[in-house]
Amino acid sequence: MRTMLCLIATAGMALVVLLAVKMEAHSNGNPMNGRKVFLRENCYICHGGRAGGGMCPSLRDRRPDEGDVEEFVLNGSPSGMPSFRARVTAQEIRDLAAYFETLRTPEEPTFTHWWEAVPVQ
């Protein structure tokens, strides 16, 4: 999270206020597109509709970073996740990571049909 310095002038005096402002944490990816990829590639079948787990780990409890997402999406896992190397692009991997970053936050996309147009937030 970045902080933003705000100066507020009141009655001839400057008051300095330090505000914690949530800046775009997922600058390399688009969480809306990441949610679409999550649904399109049927990740929800194993990881749950809102990535809360099922027969595979919850991604909401321990959100993977972009490096982990890339590793598992491209190479799969020894516990049974297949490789999606031939199905997703490098940008879609960044988008997935951005989506996972939004889990359990107000920015989390929750639409259920990947093929529907989603309004820009």
Homologous superfamily assigned to 28-102: Cytochrome c-like domain (1.10.760.10)
Q: Which pLDDT tens digit goes with each residue over 67-103? A: 999 999 999 999 899 999 999 999 999 999 999 999 9
Measure CA of the first residue to CA of the last residue in the chain; give whole Å: 19
pLDDT digits (tens, 9 = 90+) for 10-57: 454 443 333 333 334 545 899 999 999 999 999 999 999 999 998 999
pTM for this entry = 0.73
Between CA 86 and CA 58 the distance in angstroms is 24
Residues 6+ apart with CB under 8 A from 17: 5, 6, 7, 8
